[in-house]
Structure 1
Amino acid sequence: MFNFAAEKMKVRMQELKIVHAMEDEILFVDDIRDAKDLPSISMSYNSIVHCRKGQIIVEMGGNHQVKVISGQLLLIPVGKLVNPMLVSTDAEATALLVSDRMLKSVLGNQINIWNKAMYMREIYVVDGNDWLGSIQKYTHSIFKIEKMPLLSREIMVSFLRTTLLMICEELLRHEDMALGGDTSSIHDKEIFNQFLQLLSSQEQKRQRVSFYASQLHITPKYLSLISKKVSGKNPMRWITESTMQDCYSLLKETDMSIKEISNKLGFPNSSFFSQYFREQANVTPMEYRLEHKRVVR
């Protein structure tokens, strides 16, 4: 059967000059200036944007801007809605887009470092340092191969793992520096981390704050206090964001119906699920699926 959504995605990828690799698990954009609609595609991936020259500005929520200068990396987790990137006239920047599935496979246990940093900041800017230039050149040469042989794919994954682990090291360093001025106690941080782990382990994440508080043997008020103190966000915000990550993943990665997804995630019915999804993503579940459904080769 002809897959119209997949064909539409292929055409859009060609228009955006995006190079495929690893069955759409990894995508590469050589020059983000050629990819005017990159944010709509990158919403389905974890994006690593490397600013080699000039500066890039990303707008979030219409009133929050993040600037990235030469030599820095912009990290955007899957599912984050950002307005079109603004680049200076002299800007040179590439983008590496990695699916959640590939990210988890490559990072293994270190995925917790990435997730925690992304949860805390929503998007992250880090310095690339000297190691990035060498890896960038090799990655660029691999993606230029028209038909990537198996060995090159293995090397690509190896270099991707190296790059991601180095980024995680940088994220840890940033976290250690941030803790210097943090007034949260070690006990508070431990409880907050337990909350994130508990949230991640739940198949049906859309629960009341009291549900998670009871599992941690604390009051909802205390959990809210700790969450706000440690992360700047209340527990309900975490619950909503984590629930939406599952929504995005199931809509992109599976052929489950809207009703099946609704049931799996614990919504009372598909109508309520669709309303909930639209309030968060500004599109219906079906519109999101048609726009972001993984291309099947």
Structure 2
Amino acid sequence: MENSKRIDTTDIKQLANSEFVDYADDDVVIVDDLRNFSKLQTIKVDFLLIIVVKSGRVAMRTNKEENTASCNDIIICQPNTIMNDCLFSIDFTAKAVCISAQTARKMLHINEVIDLSFYLKNKPIIHIDESTMETFEKYHTLLSELLTKESTIYKKQIVGSLVSSFLFCLLNIIESVNPQRIAIHMSRGSLLFKQFVELLTSMEVKPRNVDFYSKKLCITGKYLSNICKNNSGKTAYEWITEYVTEDIHRLLSHSDMSVKEISNYLEFPNISFFGKFVKAHLGCSPTEFRKKKGIQENVDQ
């Protein structure tokens, strides 16, 4: 019973190394038989988890809310969802597609991500017809096949395009089930959270202090962090750090700027501080990151 009180955060890389995972890369994980999820204790998933129930029933608690799904239901657990007390019927079968939060955000417009988030917060289970189920199974099968193929220079782009198509298919299903989902009433806190994320994503260079954003929204930094925590499970600073890290990843991977130029561009106080930030959030120094990617570092003049 003590283990059930412990909450372990599981990210996409940890999940990829789990024994019940069938196919995986850094951004996408495929699970053919979800019954093995019953082996897990209470966890917080740090990725987008899409479960398609083929037969039987499953009961689980997601963020303290009890949910039950059966045949032809899709369960959508957003990043930072806490899952526990999973109970499966004997005839339960289901498949899952897991997508990193960063990948999902890159492939959808931020407004679509936020609107989807608020809708799914109250309705994480969607019922689909047989035809739609067949479509999802085709996506699942094709993703599985692609992830098992040998790496090529275009493999990541091919998988990414298929995942993008899969996500838009999911949005289309939700839109057809409830075309008025955008009109769902938002509390003041939820609206402020949406405005914060929109402000954050609109800035090319993102200030790394919470007060900058709270002043723009005419609220205190503490209130902004509480709003973010209540609506997403992450603080305002965690959101800022995540987006800044994505910007660094992009610039190190796809720009001709030197490490020093990137540090200056993103307004870090000095290159030493920038290096420590990168190592803390990408697991290695900026130069080592580029070496792993096979990118030649420009020498600062």
- The TM-score with structure 1 as length reference comes to 0.57
Task: Determine the structure 2 residue equivalent to 1:52.
Answer: 54
Question: Match of 1:162?
Answer: 165
Deviation digits for residues 110-150 of structure 1 (CA, Å, limit 9, x no counterpart): x4313322145437222334234234235325415743454
Equivalent residue, structure 2, for 1:25 = 27
CA contact (8 A) 1:206 1:240 kept: no
Shifted more, 116-125 versus 42-51: the winner is: 116-125
Task: Label 1:209 to 1:174 Cα distance change in 2 as closer, same or farther (>3 A).
Answer: farther
Following superposition of structure 1 onto structure 2, how do residues 260-271 of structure 1 map, counting pairs within 5 Å? none
Query: CA RMSD, aligned part only?
Result: 4.7
- Deviation of 1:157 after TM superposition, in Å, equals 3.1
| Identity between Structure 1 and Structure 2 (%) | 16
> Structure 1 unaligned runs (5+)?
1-8, 225-232, 256-263, 265-285, 290-295
Q: Which residue of 1 aligns with 2:230?
A: 237
Alignment coverage as a number of residue pairs: 231
Show the counterpart of 2:36.
34
2:83 alignment counterpart: 82
Q: Partners in 1 of 2:195 and 2:113 — Cα distance?
A: 16
**Does the C-alpha gap of structure 1 residues 38 and 207 become closer, same or farther in structure 2, counting only changes over 3 Å?**
farther
Q: 1:46 is aligned with what amino acid?
A: L
Look up the equivalent residue of 1:50 and give its one-letter code: V
1:211-259 CA-to-partner distances (Å, cap 9, x unmatched) read 3542xxxx88xxx9xxxxxxxx967734863537538958x9899xxxx
Contact 2:53 2:94 (C-alpha < 8 Å) held by counterparts: yes
Higher RCO (CA < 8 A, seq sep 6+) = 1
Query: Taking structure 1 as reference, are residues 41 and 81 closer, same or farther at Cα in structure 2, changes over 3 Å only?
Result: closer
Question: How far off is 1:51 after superposition?
Answer: 1.0
Indicate the residue corresponding to 1:230 in structure 2: none
The 5-angstrom pairing of residues 122-141 of structure 1 reads 122=121, 124-129=124-129, 130-141=131-142
Post-superposition CA distance 1:151-184 (Å, at most 9, x none): 666544333222210211233445543577x678
Give the secondary-structure state (helix, strand or coil) at the position aligned to 2:61: strand
Which runs of structure 2 are paired with 1:181-260 in the superposition (5 Å)? 194-198=195-199, 203-204=207-208, 206-207=210-211, 211-214=215-218, 237-238=230-231, 241=234, 243=236, 246=239, 249=242
Q: CA deviation at 1:19?
A: 2.9
Distance (Å, rounded) in 2 between the aligned partners of 1:81 and 1:248: 22
In 2 relative to 1, CA 89–55 (structure 1 residues): closer, same or farther, beyond 3 Å? same
The aligned residue for residue 174 of structure 2 is: 171
Native 8 Å contact 1:113 1:171 kept in 2: no
Compared CA separation, residues 52 and 247, structure 1 to 2 (3 A): farther
Q: Deviations over 1:89-122 (max 9, x none)?
A: 2111111111123223333x3x431332214543
How much has 1:208 moved relative to structure 2?
A: 9.8
Q: CA deviation at 1:68?
A: 2.0
Question: Is 1:47–1:96's contact at 8 Å kept on the other side of the alignment?
Answer: yes
Measure, in 2, the Cα distance between the counterparts of 1:33 and 1:20.
16
Moved more, 25-34 or 83-92: 83-92
Q: 1:58–1:86: 8 Å Cα contact kept in structure 2?
A: yes
Q: Matches of 1:11 and 1:195 in 2, distance apart?
A: 29
- CA distance in 1 between partners of 2:115 and 2:126 (Å): 15
Match of 1:112 in 2: 111
**In structure 2, the residue corresponding to 1:86 is in which secondary structure?**
strand
Could you list the per-position Cα deviations for residues 70-99 of structure 1 after superposition, in whole angstroms to 9, with x for gaps in the alignment?
A: 112111122222225322221111111111
CA 1:237–1:70: 2 relative to 1, 3 Å: same
How many angstroms apart in 2 are the aligned matches of 1:120 and 1:245? 23
- Whole-Å separation in 1 of the counterparts to 2:158 and 2:36: 27
Q: Taking structure 1 as reference, are residues 204 and 30 closer, same or farther at Cα in structure 2, changes over 3 Å only?
A: same
Preserved CA contact (<8 Å) 1:32 1:38: no
